[in-house]
Every structure is written in C-alpha cells, then in structure tokens.
Amino acid sequence: MPEQHPDAEQIHLDFREHMTYGDYLQLQSLLSSQKLLSGHHDEMLFVIIHQVSELWMKLILHELKAAIVNIQRGDLSSAFKMLARVSKIQSQIIQSWDVLSTLTPAEYMEFRHHLGRASGFQSYQYRLIEFSLGRKDQRILQIYQNSPELLDTLTRALYSPSLYDVSIQALAREGLDIPSRVLERDFSQPYQPSPDVEAAWLEVYRHVDRYWDLYELAEKLVDLEDWLQQWRFRHMKTVERIIGHKPGTGGSSGVPYLKKVLDHRFFPELWDVRTKL
C-alpha cells in the first residue's frame, strides 16, 4: 500500500468554494508574465532576474514610504524595523547579480537586440528609490512623458522630502541647531552637504546616551547606503562581465556611467563625521 501522509485526514482537498495558495498570490498571472521575444534559452533568466528585482524594489518603496512617515511622526523605533528590512532586501538583490552573471557575453548577444531601447536605466521604481533617498534629478522625468500616471507619481516624489530630509528634521526636533535654509529647502533639488548638519550629527555621535534614537537612526541610514553601494557595484561588475564597455541599450555609456554613479553619496555628513570623531 502507498504510504499515507501523516496529516491526510486534516488536509483540505476541496477548493471549489475556497481560495487556494495560487489564488491568493495570483500565480497564474505572475507566472505567465514572462513574455520572451527570442527563442533563446537564457532570455528566461534575464527576464525573471529583472522582474524579481522589480518586486523587491516594490517592497523597498513600501518600507521607505512608511519609514519616512514614521520619522515625521517621531516614531523612530517603527522606522528602524522598516529600514533594517530594506537593508536585508538589498542583500537579496545583490545576490541576484550572481545568478545573472552566469549569463555569458555570447549568450546575451543572441537576444540583446530584441530589447531595442529598453533598459534598466528606465526603471521608474529605481528612480523612486533614489528620490526617496534624496538623489533628485528633474531631467529623469523626461523618460516618462509617455505615461501621465508614472510622470505624476515621480513628480510628487521629486517634490517630497526624502528619508534624509526627514531625518534632519528629526535632529531639529531634538533641539539640535539646524538652520531654516536646510529645513525649508526646495526638496526637488539634490541635497547639498551642510556644515551645520554635520555638526549636529557629530553632537549625536559624541553624546550617544543623550541621543540614542538619533544615533541608531544614523547607523540605520549608513547601513542602507552601504548596501545600496554594494548593489550598485555588483550591478556595474555584472554589466562589465557580460557586455564589457558597450553602450547600454537605453543610450547610457554603460559601465562608465555605472562607475560614476558609485561616487554619489546619499547621506554625506554621516560619512564625513567619522573622520571628525
């Protein structure tokens, strides 16, 4: 006789009137979203890696939005959990580059031409993450002129305070000296380092017991940027490994552009303060 499952009598088998696991996750829709344009075996890898990355980025944005709201409310402890989760998500995306790097240059060239001008450079979720962290660039909006809904979403994000903006506001709420020109700045512009903000963070690091929550917030921000830079580096090296120094399909210079991006800092004072301690 075939071996019977130990929970056979309790397992639900009739789902004619009940939701299944697949129904809940909408797996039929999700797993039919890989529309390949070539007959090449490895295009499936390329599509799934990028789709999974976009799902992880959706979760990153979900957590960042909530963290920003909680910091504005003064609920830093809730924000800490969300920011810690973002760092863990980033580690997953970094590992995905290791999977994509199994794609060889010869294999990618078999289907690259099918991408046309489509490129990860156009990922609106990645741009929203950058906006959320404070890297604002109004020129990027031109890419999304053909989608009024996306353009509206990105425009609102452009003019909203970033995670770092609300963290600086938290410094001011604790009585640290932050000038109004920083607190009331045009949030659509890239953040510029401020000696006053650096002095405030330096005070936090020198008096950890007095400013424990702000100290923990600072370290969560450093974690986040550290992971993001590793994400960017692995992206750059994977691109270099697969296409060398060819231009990107979206028109960027490819690897030179990705190397230049590595020089950008989201939370500059939190890095500079380490030298001053």
Q: Which residues are annotated as a binding site?
A: 46-50, 108, 112, 235, 249
Binding residues for substrate, by number, are 46-50, 108, 112, 249
Q: Strand locations in the chain, DSSP E?
A: none
**Interatomic CA distance for residues 107 and 90, integer angstroms:** 27
Q: What is the torsional sign of CA 192, 194, 200, 205? A: positive
Cα radius of gyration (the chain): 23
Residues with Cβ < 8 Å from 239, sequence gap 6 or more? 248, 254, 255, 258
Tell me the H-state helices in 244-265.
255-261
Vertex 166, ends 180 and 92: CA angle to 5°? 150
CB 46 within 8 A of CB 111: yes
247: helix, strand or coil: coil
**Interatomic CA distance for residues 250 and 252, integer angstroms:** 6
Residue type, 122: Q
Residue 26 φ/ψ region, left for φ over 0, alpha for ψ in the -120 to 50 degree band, beta for the rest: left
Binding residues for heme, by number, are 235
CB 125 within 8 A of CB 61: yes
